[in-house]
Amino acid sequence: MATSTWRLPLLRRTLLHLSFPPPPFFQLSPFSAPLNQPKFKHSLVQCSSISIEEETTSSKYIHSEIPKTTRKLSWKPMCLYHTQGKCTKMDDPLHLEKFCHNCSVELGESVSELNSLQAQEFDYFLVLDLEGKVEILEFPVLLFDAKTMDVVDVFHRFVRPTKMSETRIKEYIEGKYGAFGVDRVWHDTAITFEEVIEQFEEWLRKERDGRINLWREDGDGHLNEAAFVTCGNWDLKTKVPQQCEVSGMKLPPYFMEWINLKDIYLNFYHRRAPGMLSMMKELRIPPLGSHHLGIDDSKNIARVMQRLLRDGALLQITARRVPDSPNTVRFFFQNRIK
């Protein structure tokens, strides 16, 4: 039996001891206020810890004894300056104690647990989960090695809308990110979508250990031995093209195909789960972080992807735009979540 343990902020301790299995996702948020506690902001989150076990192979949580194989994982909210390469407090012990600066903490997979892993068509997966209904507000990408399931790199940017008044942006961000206590970091760091794409392309070009070339920039412009993984078709079928239009940009060719994890899930387990939370619930993977904070959702989607891979699923392209008619999308599974 494979299990993992993670830690939650001190203020969660009572809540979780009172109600186990874990309460609904939003109550696990590191940024939303627990019962009978004043609302606390991102910068004030305490990071003392408790342990919870995650059972990965049967249908109920266990909490009577901790198996020897339990892996200790330390959980605390991510430093959202660090994920964007903008943290200036790496020499401040208090800051390092409060915030996580390693995106792979809750995504570590032991190679010994990968017995069922299938040979994959891709060497790398890029888990993407956009935020923003009117314009894109957050663009997080986690890069995974398909063989080891290690997080190789992270690209995360907050995105500033360009066709919205400053007053509207302020209201919008306060409503969405204020609820997580991260509106300040959003305002401190957000850049336009055009700038995000420029930086993302720099990131794609980056040499990692001198061996990864993620982008066939001089060829057809598609990703090289890599594929985007999303939860649903919305991110790449709808939102990115819409944003490109708003920003007056051509749709970059690497956005032309993707793997919709919901379709992989449906065709591998033969069960319908219409969203990230329902997949997690069925797989008994307790969600971590704040739902609808893109970087946290990406990590949770990645944990579902890791489970699918570990259970032996083949992650194939599920949707692709027709080259001569980019507005047309072809879907490759007959059974799909619509």
From the list 170, 153, 186, the residue with the least C-alpha distance to 294 is 186
Minimum CB separation from Zn ion for residue 123, in Å?
Answer: 30
Question: Whose Cβ is closer to Zn ion: residue 98's or residue 303's?
Answer: 98
List the catalytic residue out of 54, 55, 131, 135: 131
127 binds Zn ion (CB under 5 A): no
98 binds Zn ion (CB under 5 A): no
Pair 9, 52: CB distance under 8 Å: no
Question: Whose Cβ is closer to Zn ion: residue 78's or residue 283's?
Answer: 78
79 binds Zn ion (CB under 5 A): yes
Residues 6+ apart with CB under 8 A from 198: none
Question: Whose Cβ is closer to Zn ion: residue 156's or residue 321's?
Answer: 156
78 binds Zn ion (CB under 5 A): no
Give the Cα separation of 323 and 305 in Å (integer). 28
Please say if 292 is a catalytic residue: yes
Give the Cα separation of 130 and 140 in Å (integer). 7
Minimum CB separation from Zn ion for residue 292, in Å?
Answer: 22
Minimum CB separation from Zn ion for residue 81, in Å?
Answer: 5
CA distances from 264 to 44, 71, 176, 258, 273 (A): 39, 28, 30, 11, 11
Pair 296, 302: CB distance under 8 Å: no
87 binds Zn ion (CB under 5 A): yes
Question: Whose Cβ is closer to Zn ion: residue 82's or residue 310's?
Answer: 82
Minimum CB separation from Zn ion for residue 101, in Å?
Answer: 6
The region of 62-70, 73-81, 192-200, 277-285 touching Zn ion under the rule CB under 5 A is 73-81
Give the Cα separation of 190 and 186 in Å (integer). 6
Could you give the count of Cα atoms lying within 13 Å of 158 in the half-sphere of its Cβ?
20
Count of residues interacting with Zn ion (CB under 5 A): 4
The region of 71-79, 128-136, 201-209, 321-329 touching Zn ion under the rule CB under 5 A is 71-79
Minimum CB separation from Zn ion for residue 74, in Å?
Answer: 15
- Which residue type sits at 319? A
The region of 76-84, 110-118, 285-293, 320-328 touching Zn ion under the rule CB under 5 A is 76-84
Packing angle between helix 261-269 and helix 276-283, nearest 10 degrees? 40
Which member of 7, 12, 82, 157 binds Zn ion (CB under 5 A)? 82
Pair 235, 129: CB distance under 8 Å: yes
Question: Whose Cβ is closer to Zn ion: residue 77's or residue 253's?
Answer: 77
Question: Whose Cβ is closer to Zn ion: residue 41's or residue 89's?
Answer: 89
The region of 79-87, 117-125, 245-253, 309-317 touching Zn ion under the rule CB under 5 A is 79-87
Minimum CB separation from Zn ion for residue 116, in Å?
Answer: 37
Give the Cα separation of 185 and 292 in Å (integer). 16
Please give the full DSSP string across 19-84, using - where no structure is assigned.
Answer: S-S---HHHH-SSSPPTTS----GGG-------EEEE-SSSS---S---TTPEE-----B-TTGGG
φ/ψ (deg, to 5) at 180: -95, -5
**Interface residues toward Zn ion, by CB under 5 A:** 79, 82, 87, 89
Catalytic residues, by residue number, are 131, 292
